[in-house]
Amino acid sequence: MEKILQGNAITLGVCYYPEHWDESLWKDDLARMRARGIRVIRIAEFAWNKFEPTEGRFTFDFFDRFMEAAREADMAVIFCTPTATPPAWLTNQYPEVLNAGKDGVKLRHGARRHYNYNSPVYRRFTARIVEKIAGHYGKHPNVIGWQIDNELNCERDEFYSKSDTTAFREFLKEKYATLDALNAAWGTVFWNQTYTAWAEIYVPRTVISDSVNPHQVMDYIRFVSHSARSYAKLQSDIIRKYLKKGDFITTNGLFANLDNHKLRAESLDFITYDSYPNFAYCLDNQNSAAPGLKDRNWSRKLAETRSVSAKFGIMEQQSGANGWNTRMEAPAPKPGQMTLWAMQSIAHGADFISFFRWRTCAMGTEMYWHGILDYSNHDNRRLAELGEIHQKIERLASAAGGTYEAAFAVLKDYDNVWDAKLDKWHERIERASEAGIFEAAQLCHSPMDYVYLTGSTSLDELQKYAALFYPHAVILTEERAALLERFVENGGTLVLGCRTGYKDLTGKCPMRKLPGLLRKLSGADVVDYTFISPDDGKIIVDWEGTEIEAAVFTDVLEALENTQVVGTYTNNYYAGKGAIIRGEYGKGSVYYFGAAFNRETAAVFLEKLKIAEPYRAIVEAPPSCELAVRRNKKGRFLFLLNYAKEPAVVTFKRKVWNLDTEQPVTGPVELPPYGTGVYRMPEPTPGISVSGEAHRPAG
């Protein structure tokens, strides 16, 4: 059977729902898919009733018939567990399996994802259905892999059922052992919240201004992540018993309140992402951290995905308009955009692209979430575009496998990601810098990675990059500080932003001089700090003659021994005081910038650190184009993606090989609106300074 992610091809798939259609359509659907290059389908993620129509009565007739059709069509199948949509008979008979709102009111049957991970009853039903399905289909020759549930933590990433409170107490007992320790960690002396019995503790509940104790919320988010992971592990442990050699277990999506790195390590062979760049054009939901770059912001999400799982696929790739009947209306992709968005995923490292969905559903909440075909089932322009995508990816086979080459990385960690969710002060700086650095990287054609500092991040992983940004490490630990110290000592450049190091792991603010655990490494002393008031106007920093903006917040800085003030504020009450401190440490250097990074400021950092446009000796591309590079044993491949509705001209300064035309090219090349091109670079490529290569910023 067709395998995916083997490093030698890019494979196309599609999401298919045999239960939505008359059986007489299956054969024709599968044949039409194959004719357009679809080799893999994903099925069954919402189809529990087709396996267990009433409690304890199992039947496989329906999917056996479908799998027979798949076998005849030579179609590989990713089978899903159907646990995202518990049946009505189950939720009605056992309402404790339902999730609830903060006020304790239960979610009800009628949509999806209404269950909670901690209900012992739901876990029992889950284990049984997964056991039955994996046992029945695990050895089927057409099955190549498994998807657990569907989009864990999508739509709802908070859980407030009774079972959650019970499990939360156990989680806390395990973590703190005594109530004294818990009271200290949560600072419960504030507002008289002290707990005197475990039974007094609940998951967050309705309180004034929705302002539950922040240290409690921090532990609660960790608990939600723990619950989702343990639920996934329950399923993957069962599936693994029945897995054929070479088959995989994955799940789809990257959602909040979930440590996706641990999820992957514990339960999955790799992660798959669901890429819907059309959200950028939604009427009611911008859903984008870098709204300025619209659909290109999905490259940021793909970089996040890559950080979880270097090898990954796309389980749901946008192929049509968005729309539930209640929300999320976005237009049909323009001709070329379906290809562009698929190529965006491939440029970032996905070698499996499975479109959502084969045919638009003619009923239900998602009847406007268009797939490749419309309700009519007639050939249309999106089907024709699928055929073109197939031709294109066949010509890209030599670029498959290998790695995405980043010029620098942005560090993250879950403590800070979650703290920024619950703490408005933290959120504002984080959002600004997340967008600013990503947008600058895009517009300077300086490909970037995200690296999560997890318990197991090694120095080697960091040393792949000449420069790292850790924009707002509000929460720091001794281990992370020590790792960064070694990175810099060994020659790396580290860039820090405002508010570094003022919290500990509980989210409390220890009494110490800032930037706390990175004081020695940064050689910066934060002597004062403030939000920038709307009244203050733009705060400008003079960085050795270059003017940059300090966004959102300002730390007022002084240099400790052996460091220098290289940038000063030019206005507000701290005019003339330090805004950027630079220091040498071992063989490397550290910059402490006292503010958040907007797009222009981040671009100046990239330029001064000499990590902007690492491919400028080879190609010059306009800002409307994304440049990405993948490297494998066969060479380095430049991906150029034009997101604009106008054509874009890119100029090759050296001869490259166009994989589409199989011709060499130099000089100007026009990419059509939404057009893409992939070019093999000459080897060796002098003048290139990207991750892993000898490159150190000057000055």
Closest approach of ligand GAL to the CB of residue 83, in Å: 13
3-state secondary structure at position 146:
strand
Judged by CB, which is closer to ligand GAL: 73, or 350?
350
Q: How far is the CB of 112 from ligand GAL (least distance, A)?
A: 8
How far apart CA 317 and CA 357 sit, in angstroms, is 8
DSSP secondary-structure letter at 614? T
**Residue 561 appears among annotated catalytic residues:** no
For ligand GAL, the binding residue among 150, 305, 344, 554 (CB under 6 A) is 150
**Within positions 154 to 193, which residues make up the interface with ligand GAL, using CB under 6 A?**
154
Least spacing, CB of residue 156 vs ligand GAL, in Å: 12
DSSP string, 80-144: E--TTS--HHHHHH-GGGB-B-TTSPBP-SSSS--B-TT-HHHHHHHHHHHHHHHHHHTT-TTEE
Tell me: does residue 574 bind ligand GAL (CB under 6 A): no
- Tell how strand 408-412 and strand 403-404 pair up: unpaired
Return the number of the residue (251 or 642) whose C-beta is nearest ligand GAL.
251
Task: Catalogue the E-assigned strands of 285-393.
Answer: 312-318, 350-356
Specify the DSSP element, H or E, that contains 482.
Answer: helix 478-489
Minimum CB distance to ligand GAL smaller for 96 or for 329: 329
Task: Please give the Cα distance from 309 to 249 (Å, whole number).
Answer: 13
Per-residue mark of binding to ligand GAL, 283-322 (x: CB under 6 A): ---------------------------------x------
Q: In the bound complex, what is the minimum distance in angstroms from residue 278's beta carbon to ligand GAL?
A: 10
Site string for ligand GAL, 263-282 (x = CB under 6 A): -----------x--------
Q: Which stretch binds ligand GAL (CB under 6 A): 35-43, 54-62, 148-156, 663-671?
A: 148-156
Residue 358 is a binding residue for ligand GAL (CB under 6 A): no
**Are β-strands 635-642 and 625-632 bridged in parallel, bridged antiparallel, or unpaired?**
antiparallel
- Whole-number Å distance between alpha carbons of 387 and 381: 10
- Which residues from 54-93 bind ligand GAL, rule CB under 6 A? none
| 280 alpha-carbon distance from chain centroid | 16
Q: Which is nearer to ligand GAL, 150 or 598 (CB)?
A: 150
603: region left, alpha or beta (phi > 0 left; psi from -120 to 50 alpha): alpha
Establish if 356 lies at the interface with ligand GAL (CB under 6 A): yes
Asked if 402 and 632 touch (Cβ cutoff 8 Å), the reply is yes
Q: Closer CB to ligand GAL, residue 146 or residue 369?
A: 369
Judged by CB under 6 A, does residue 366 bind ligand GAL? yes
Question: At its nearest, how many Å lie between ligand GAL and the CB of residue 366?
Answer: 5
| Residue 282 vs residues 37, 224, 361, 426, 673: alpha-carbon distances, Å | 30, 29, 20, 27, 21
Active-site pick, 45, 52, 151, 549: 151
Work out whether 532 is an interface residue with ligand GAL (CB under 6 A): no
Minimum distance from CB of 304 to ligand GAL (Å)?
Answer: 16
CA-angle at 626, arms to 625 and 628, nearest 5°: 145
**How far are the Cα atoms of 28, 54, 361, 375, 440 from residue 21, in angstroms, in the given order?**
12, 22, 9, 11, 46
Nearer to ligand GAL (CB atom), residue 29 or residue 316: 316
* Shorter beta-carbon distance to ligand GAL: residue 80 or 243: 80
CA separation for the pair 50, 632 (Å, rounded): 44
- Residue 244 near residue 138 (C-beta atoms within 8 A): yes
Pick the stretch among 4-12, 150-158, 452-460, 502-510 that binds ligand GAL (CB under 6 A): 150-158
Alpha carbons 667 and 164: distance in angstroms, whole number: 62
Residue 166: how many other CB atoms lie within 10 Å:
14
> Could you give the CA distance from residue 476 to residue 416 in angstroms, rounded to a whole number?
9
Q: Provide the minimum distance between the beta carbon of 640 and ligand GAL in the complex, in angstroms, as a whole number.
A: 29
Binding residue for ligand GAL, selected from 125, 159, 273, 369, defined by CB under 6 A: 369
Of the ranges 146-154, 561-569, 613-621, 641-649, which one interacts with ligand GAL (CB under 6 A)?
146-154
Cβ–Cβ < 8 Å for 521, 481: yes
- Among the candidate windows 120-128, 149-157, 216-224, 372-380, which touches ligand GAL by CB under 6 A? 149-157
Radius of gyration of the CA atoms of the chain, in A: 26
CB 695 within 8 A of CB 689: yes
- Is position 149 an interface residue for ligand GAL (rule: CB under 6 A)? no
Given 29, 149, 151, 405, the residue binding ligand GAL (CB under 6 A): 151
Name the residue nearer to ligand GAL (CB basis): 154 or 254. Answer: 154
Q: Is residue 433 involved in binding ligand GAL (CB under 6 A)?
A: no
343 binds ligand GAL per the rule CB under 6 A: no
Position 243 contacts ligand GAL (CB under 6 A): no
> Per rule CB under 6 A, is residue 489 in the interface with ligand GAL?
no
CB distance 349 to 301 below 8 Å? no
DSSP-assigned states of every residue in 363-395: SSTTTTS--SB-TT----HHHHHHHHHHHHHHH
Q: How far is the CB of 641 from ligand GAL (least distance, A)?
A: 23
Composition of the chain by helix, strand, coil, percent to 5: 35, 25, 40
Residue 316 known to be catalytic: yes
CB of 253 to ligand GAL, least distance (A): 7
Range in contact with ligand GAL (rule: CB under 6 A) among 147-155, 281-289, 480-488, 635-643: 147-155
| Nearest distance in Å: CB 252, ligand GAL | 6
Cis check for the bond before 120: say yes or no (omega within 30 of 0).
Answer: no
Q: How far is the CB of 317 from ligand GAL (least distance, A)?
A: 11
Number of residues that bind ligand GAL (CB under 6 A): 8
Nearer to ligand GAL, 112 or 630 (CB): 112
Residue in 162, 218, 79, 245 with CA at minimum distance from that of residue 503: 218
Q: How far apart are the first and last CA of the chain?
A: 55
Q: How many residues does the chain have?
A: 699
Rounded to the nearest whole angstrom, what is the least distance from the CB of residue 17 to ligand GAL in the complex?
A: 9
Which member of 45, 52, 316, 485 is catalytic? Answer: 316
Pairing of strands 350-356, 403-404: unpaired
The reply to whether 96 sits near ligand GAL by the rule CB under 6 A is no
Identity of the residue, 62 or 255, whose beta carbon is nearer to ligand GAL in the bound complex: 255
Check residue 400 for interaction with ligand GAL (CB under 6 A): no
Which residues form the catalytic set? 151, 316
User: Which residues here bind ligand GAL, judged by CB under 6 A?
Assistant: 150-151, 154, 274, 316, 356, 366, 369
